[in-house]
Amino acid sequence: MADDRPGPAQVVLTASVARRYYLDGRSKIEIADEFGLSRFKVARLLDAARESGLVRIEIRHAGEIDVDLSARLRDRYGLQHAVVVDTPDDDAESLRGHVGRAASQLLAEIITPQDVLGLAWARAVSAVARALPPLPGTPVVQLSGALSMPEGPDTSVDVVREVAGRSRGTAHFFYAPLVVPDAATARALRQQPEVARAFGQLPLVTKAVAGVGLWEAGQSTLYDTASESDREELRRLGVCADISGVFVSVDGVPVPTALAERMIAISAEEMRAIPEVIVVPYGTRKALAVRAALRSGLVGGIVTHTALAHAVLEE
Q: What domains are defined for the chain?
A: 8-52 (1.10.10), 67-313 (3.40.50.1360)
What pLDDT score does 227 carry? 93
Q: What is the mean pLDDT of residues 80-91?
A: 87
Find the helix or strand (DSSP H, E) in which 141 lies: strand 140-142
Q: Is the dihedral of CA 251, 253, 257, 261 positive or negative?
A: positive
How many C-beta neighbours within 10 Å does residue 111 have?
A: 18
pLDDT in tens, 155-198: 788 899 999 988 889 999 999 999 999 999 999 999 999 999 99
pLDDT at residue 96 greater than cutoff 80: yes
**Which one-letter DSSP state was computed for residue 245?**
T
What is the Cβ-side half-sphere exposure of residue 254, based on CA atoms within 13 angstroms? Answer: 16
Q: What is the DSSP string of 170-227?
A: -EE----BSB-SSHHHHHHHHTSHHHHHHHTTGGG--EEEE--EESSTTT-HHHHHS-
Region of poorest pLDDT, from 61-65, 197-201, 291-295: 61-65
Residue 2's contacts (CB-CB under 8 Å, 6 or more residues apart) are none
How are beta strands 117-119 and 207-210 bridged, if at all? parallel
pLDDT in tens, 115-157: 999 999 888 999 999 999 999 899 999 999 987 555 555 678 8
| CB-based contact 247:238 (threshold 8 Å) | no
Q: Which residue has the higher pLDDT, 312 or 67?
A: 312
- Rounded to whole angstroms, how far apart are CA atoms 20 and 15? 9
- What backbone phi and psi angles, to 5 degrees, belong to 247? -90, 135
- Return the SS3 of 284: helix
Largest CA distance in the chain: 86
Can you name the residues that pair with 265 across neighbouring β-strands? 144
pLDDT in tens, 17-37: 999 998 898 999 999 999 999
Query: Pick from 172, 164, 160: which is nearest to 125 by CA?
Result: 160
* Helices assigned H by DSSP within the chain: 8-18, 28-35, 39-52, 67-77, 92-110, 123-131, 156-167, 183-190, 193-199, 221-225, 228-236, 258-261, 268-272, 287-295, 306-313
- Rounded to whole angstroms, how far apart are CA atoms 298 and 274? 8
| CB-based contact 160:141 (threshold 8 Å) | yes
Q: Which residue has the higher pLDDT, 57 or 276?
A: 276
Residue 130's contacts (CB-CB under 8 Å, 6 or more residues apart) are 100, 154, 162
- Measured CA to CA in angstroms, residue 289 lies from 89, 293, 301 at distances of 18, 6, 15
- Rounded to whole angstroms, how far apart are CA atoms 129 and 147? 16
